[in-house]
Amino acid sequence: MQSHDNAQKNAIVSWTGGKDGCYSCYRAMNDGYNITHILHFTNLKKTGSHELNPALIRAQAQSIGLPLIQRNFQSYEEEFKKAALELRAQGERFDAAVFGHIETHKPLVERICKELDIDLILPLWKENSEKIISEIIDAGFETILVSVRDGFLGKEWLGRKIDGRFLADLKTAGTAVDACGENGEFHTLVLDGPIFKKRIVITGSNPIHKEGYWFLNITDFNLQDK
């Protein structure tokens, strides 16, 4: 159900390609916010656990039908503010920013939004991880694991869908893995969902081991009509 209070409010959304940002965007839309742009940033200082073919992010934005701003950064905070101010200079109006954080980085995004004088929207903040996963599944999002951290999950989890068996299988994995991967145990890619007009279909990939993580290196994919 949409909130009438938010019906005229525009918002930008921070985006990694994974489930938390995507589901937060969906929740904000359902709360009545008009999402105007997706902002995606890649860290130049480290490849890290979010290493992903940037063309996949462009495919997600195309599938959803939203404009994408895609930048490299050395300071996420400075690059986010710079991108937002450039949008304003182009005449774009936005009243809020949506982030997918559950347990971390709140002071950072509070500072960003305060300096931009916009509302901070954290739809998933402090919610139970298993509850979030269940809601993502029930809402109809198709999500896979694209990186897993050594010592928590093995490379056989790469490409694994977050489905009805996911939570039970995590509990038998032999380590204490947060259901949303909040401690960096895994990261995800959303391929389809209720806000997607087309579905992303992966046609080529291979596993890569780097910096303590297994990554699913996605080399080929296409968009499929729904």
Domains observed in the chain: 4-121 (3.40.50.620), 139-225 (3.90.1490.10)
Q: What is the model's pLDDT at position 28?
A: 97
Buried b (16+ CB within 10 A) or exposed e, 2-35: eeeebeebbbbbbbbbbbbbbbbbbbbbbbbbeb
Of the candidates 102, 141, 132, 99, the residue with the CA atom closest to the CA atom of residue 116 = 99
The pLDDT of 192-217, averaged and rounded, is: 95
pLDDT band at 205 (very low <50, low <70, confident <90, very high): very high
The yes-or-no verdict on residue 111 having pLDDT over 80 is yes
E strand map for 91-179:
96-98, 119-121, 142-149
pLDDT at 48: 47
Is it the case that residue 40 has pLDDT exceeding 70? yes
Q: What is the pLDDT of residue 53?
A: 85
What's the longest Cα–Cα distance across the chain?
52
| Partners of residue 213 on adjacent β-strands | 149, 210
Residue 49 has pLDDT above 50, yes or no: no
Exposure of 113 by Cβ count < 10 A (0-12 exposed, 13-18 middle, 19+ buried)? buried
Residue pair 223/56 in contact (Cβ under 8 Å)? The answer is: no
The amino acid sitting at 39 is: L
Q: For residue 90, give both structure tokens.
A: 């182009």
> Which pLDDT value is given to residue 186?
95
Q: What is the mean pLDDT of residues 85-113?
A: 96
| One-letter amino acid for residue 198 of the chain | K
Mean pLDDT of 109-132: 97
In this model, does residue 151 exceed pLDDT 70? Answer: yes
Judged by average pLDDT, the poorest of 11-20, 46-55, 206-215 is 46-55
What ranges in 5-67 are assigned the alpha helix state H? 19-30, 54-64
Amino acid 1: pLDDT: 40
Q: Is-contact 143 19, C-beta < 8 A? A: yes
Assign 61 to helix, strand or coil: helix
C-alpha separations of 204 from 23, 159, 217, 220, 223 in Å? 26, 11, 9, 5, 13
Is 35 in contact with 14 (CB distance < 8 Å)? Answer: no
51-55, 97-101, 192-196: least confident range = 51-55
pLDDT band at 46 (very low <50, low <70, confident <90, very high): low
What does the block give as tokens for 123?
């739809």
- For residue 82, pLDDT over 50 is answered with yes
Instruction: Give the mean pLDDT of the chain.
Output: 92
